Structure 1
Amino acid sequence: MNVLVVGSGAAGGTVARELSKNGISVTIIEKGPAIKVKNAYKEYIIQNVGTEISNTVCLGGTTLVTLGNGMKDCADDFKEFGIDLNPEFEEIERELFVSHLPDSHFGDGTKRIMESAESIGFEVEKMPKFIDPTSCKPCGKCALGCPQDAKWTSMTFIEEAEKYGARIIENTPVTDIIVSEGKVRGVKSYEEIFEADIVILAAGAIETPRLLQKIGMNAGNNLFVDTFVTVGGILENIKFNTELQMNAIIKFDNFIIGPHFTEVLVNDLNAHNARKKDVIGLMVMIKDEPSGKVTPDEIIKLNTGNDLAKLAQGSAIASSILIEAGVDPKTIVSTHARGAHLGGTASIGDLVNKNLQTEVEGLYVGDASIFPKAPGAPPVLTIIALAKRLAKHVMEMSL
């Protein structure tokens, strides 16, 4: 059996590793280049589509710029479709050593935020992380590409897959899927053809539906992005910008709040002559409505009235925490709305079945396109769990 994996992020890297280590011939085709993890920020693509969205196009994908957050999202949502991810979550937590970081990795800003939130009456939890504390020297650069390679990225799995014989092809955009008599036969990159018995799309919630559209499938609807803003202000010399970000979390029904620094805040605080080391912030991330759409030529994702209400509620709570922490209320600002976790554009029960197969035999989708709704929280562990489950299905098919 010959398997082609399109994309090399959390889904692509995982499924390639699982299949190759079990003796299946795997080829990973990646649109972007292979880079050093610490240079991932150079591969960001930022688009304003109503909400600002961003991703990195390179080998390893957006895993290179995650904050290392290990949450088990949407488990109940997938159970409604007959998918129990608990066995895969247990595997992942062991393999990635998902755990809370030691107190030495909590900076003064994060500690102050946690104490202030608890004093107001909110329940604060430490964020589970897939970061090696023995390698991590907190520097605030997780979202740019870890200089110490201290956090898990899919590069770990890709390198392992390569040792098991997987072929890695970079700088090669897939432009079409080859289908004949209801069965997938491979993919094309412009005029170059790559034949395969099975194709697994893991190119993300924008490129995956566009490829499905080319073979006549009604993909690209119901885009969500886990819309977020960062609310922040000035707390002199707190040096929050050098801390490990999102090291704590406050959970609400429709959003989460966590410590978060962004240089956008520094720019927004220009009138106060803000320095990076004086700025502290809280991210408010909502479960946004799947109101977006991906077409062959366009991406549209506007905030709905409900989305704005959630952001306003979360921002008010974040502001109260920051004021309790000592931030001058006159300096508090909010960034514009941004999107972090794109998904929903080829959702389960719509375009894929419980085995993540499309109506085309041998054509599967493994990325966040298949999520039935927005997680409103970091989805990396769930994507890996789904990819592990998909790999098990493919291996059963090969017997």
Structure 2
Amino acid sequence: MKNVIVVGSGAGGATVARELALKGVSVTLIEMGKRVTTDIAFQCYDNLDIGVELLKTSCLGGTTLVTAGNAVRTCQEDFKQMGIDLSSEFKETEDELNVGPLPDTHFGEGTLKIMEAASSLGLVMEKMPKSIDPKKCIPCGKCAFGCPRDAKWSSLKFLDDALAQGVQIIENTTVTGVTTTNGRVKGVKTYNPENGLKNEYNADMVILCSGAIQTPGLLRSAGLVAGEKLFVDTFVTVGGALPDIGFYKEVSMNSLLKKEGFILAPHYSSLLIPRIGQNRIQEKDILGMMVKIPDESSGRVDENCVFKQSTANDVGLLAEGCATAGAILTEAGVDPDTLVSTPARGAHPGGTAAVGEVVDKDLETEIEGLYVCDASVFPRAPGAPPVLTILALAKRLAKHIINQ
């Protein structure tokens, strides 16, 4: 029987661990964070300032606990051109997660105003595909803080399945390095900061799913070159005043406008309030939109720092997106004199162990038995939520390992 170590419990780690365990593979999953209930996941944010603020969490289930539940296919053609056809895995995942738009009952006044305004300007906004159970969801605007009703899919659901299949989950433990012997993976070294204990775990295979910031360091510990070409899916939120709209309580990003070089989606951010600079403005008076771009892979993760800067092309795309968002919001009734933007932030780091450069089409490195299955392997920035694609990649990797 194969013995596999999975590092990280987000979309990739939870999925591959579950899929392998369902086929009888012995799996140990190691996570640096601890388990929390979804309603307090916001307490696990540990954002980084890397030139842009990078949003991320450290807990069992990772960032899946604080996503907006968006489920869109990203980079499908890019991967296909590299010999990775995810068609069946996308379909399998969408069916399993009941992916689809929410019913009309879950669209608030603010989102509807934005969709109607876009239409009047000749722009088509579609309903966002979601992995949210509408029977459990009572719109409250807290998607990015952790769902208080556990209505949206998170990898905790797959981790529970994995536990039921005998997967050993080790929490509060940091993987500090990958060990190898004669060109083959041997296992991992770990450290528990709570008790100061160091340990080593051996396995036939190691799958790194710890994210594009942590994964490169682990690859370097095994003697591989990784960490270049970091992208983060840079985004800003544009918004202004529309009295008593109550937008902050709506389902976040419930519709989507796709343009060449950026996407737009209804989005509330409390960061807009002080930037408007009017004491009379409260959270109930804000209507906003997210502008997200597929930023250039101009960042890096090395031994000493994580760095990402916006290129001239990035700035140009953000400016174009902000102008479009401003026009839609003004058409929706927002006072144009109150329109402001948040600072640039990043939510989807990736690219630091890309397919064709650090891993092959089976997501294996030059070291036999050492795999990567997170957004590190993306060949470029998707400019849209990558969770569904990571799930599909993890399912494909599990099938590959099982069939070996």
Secondary structure at the aligned position of 1:287 is classed as coil
Give the whole-Å Cα distance in 1 for the aligned partners of 2:159 and 2:384: 25
Give the whole-Å Cα distance in 2 for the aligned partners of 1:176 and 1:267: 43
Secondary structure at the aligned position of 1:263 is classed as coil
CA shift for structure 1 position 269: 2.1
For 1:227-266, list aligned pairs within 5 A.
Answer: 227-266=234-273
CA shift for structure 1 position 265: 1.1
Give the whole-Å Cα distance in 1 for the aligned partners of 2:55 and 2:190: 24
Give the whole-Å Cα distance in 1 for the aligned partners of 2:106 and 2:69: 13
Q: Tell me, yes or no, if the aligned pair for 1:222 and 1:293 is still in contact at 8 Å.
A: yes
**More displaced, 226-235 or 209-218?**
209-218
- Relative to the length of structure 2, the TM-score reads 0.97
**More displaced, 272-281 or 365-374?**
272-281
Q: How many residues align?
A: 397
Partner of 2:38: 37
Q: Tell me, yes or no, if the aligned pair for 1:238 and 1:280 is still in contact at 8 Å.
A: yes
Letter in 2 for 1:81: M
For 1:109-124, list aligned pairs within 5 A.
Answer: 109-124=110-125
RMSD: 0.7
For 1:335-354, list aligned pairs within 5 A.
Answer: 335-354=342-361
For 1:217-296, list aligned pairs within 5 A.
Answer: 217-296=224-303
Partner of 1:395: 402
Partner of 2:87: 86
C-alpha distance after superposition, 1:93-136 (max 9, x if no partner):
11000011100000000000000000000011000000000000
Letter in 2 for 1:232: G
Runs of 4 or more consecutive aligned structure 1 residues displaced over 6 Å after TM superposition: none
Partner of 1:174: 175
Q: Tell me, yes or no, if the aligned pair for 1:110 and 1:247 is still in contact at 8 Å.
A: yes
For 1:53-202, list aligned pairs within 5 A.
Answer: 53-190=54-191, 191-202=198-209
State whether structure 2 residue 377 is matched by structure 1 residue 378.
Answer: no
Give the whole-Å Cα distance in 2 for the aligned partners of 1:47 and 1:362: 31
Give the whole-Å Cα distance in 2 for the aligned partners of 1:73 and 1:80: 14
State whether structure 2 residue 373 is matched by structure 1 residue 366.
Answer: yes
Partner of 2:20: 19
Flag structure 2 segments of 5+ consecutive residues without an equivalent: 192-197
Give the whole-Å Cα distance in 1 for the aligned partners of 2:315 and 2:279: 27
CA shift for structure 1 position 272: 4.7
Partner of 2:313: 306
For 1:196-215, list aligned pairs within 5 A.
Answer: 196-215=203-222
Secondary structure at the aligned position of 2:303 is classed as coil
**More displaced, 119-128 or 261-270?**
261-270
Letter in 1 for 2:398: A
Give the whole-Å Cα distance in 1 for the aligned partners of 2:39 and 2:228: 34
CA shift for structure 1 position 270: 3.2
Give the whole-Å Cα distance in 1 for the aligned partners of 2:145 and 2:49: 20
Give the whole-Å Cα distance in 1 for the aligned partners of 2:135 and 2:274: 33
Give the whole-Å Cα distance in 1 for the aligned partners of 2:166 and 2:160: 10
Letter in 1 for 2:85: D
Letter in 2 for 1:48: D
Give the whole-Å Cα distance in 2 for the aligned partners of 1:67 and 1:304: 27
CA shift for structure 1 position 296: 1.8
CA shift for structure 1 position 216: 1.9
Give the whole-Å Cα distance in 1 for the aligned partners of 2:25 and 2:4: 8
Give the whole-Å Cα distance in 1 for the aligned partners of 2:146 and 2:95: 23
Q: Tell me, yes or no, if the aligned pair for 1:20 and 1:166 is still in contact at 8 Å.
A: yes
Give the whole-Å Cα distance in 2 for the aligned partners of 1:49 and 1:351: 23
Secondary structure at the aligned position of 1:233 is classed as strand
Q: Tell me, yes or no, if the aligned pair for 1:223 and 1:293 is still in contact at 8 Å.
A: yes
Give the whole-Å Cα distance in 2 for the aligned partners of 1:384 and 1:267: 38
- Relative to the length of structure 1, the TM-score reads 0.99
Give the whole-Å Cα distance in 2 for the aligned partners of 1:259 and 1:387: 30
Letter in 1 for 2:342: T
Partner of 1:7: 8
CA shift for structure 1 position 279: 0.5
Letter in 2 for 1:93: E
Give the whole-Å Cα distance in 2 for the aligned partners of 1:180 and 1:358: 14
CA shift for structure 1 position 267: 2.6
Secondary structure at the aligned position of 1:389 is classed as helix
Give the whole-Å Cα distance in 1 for the aligned partners of 2:274 and 2:216: 35
Give the whole-Å Cα distance in 2 for the aligned partners of 1:313 and 1:55: 26
**More displaced, 264-273 or 236-245?**
264-273
Letter in 1 for 2:360: N
Secondary structure at the aligned position of 2:46 is classed as strand
Secondary structure at the aligned position of 1:45 is classed as coil
Give the whole-Å Cα distance in 2 for the aligned partners of 1:320 and 1:297: 42
CA shift for structure 1 position 48: 1.4
Q: Tell me, yes or no, if the aligned pair for 1:272 and 1:331 is still in contact at 8 Å.
A: no
Percentage of pairs with the same residue: 55
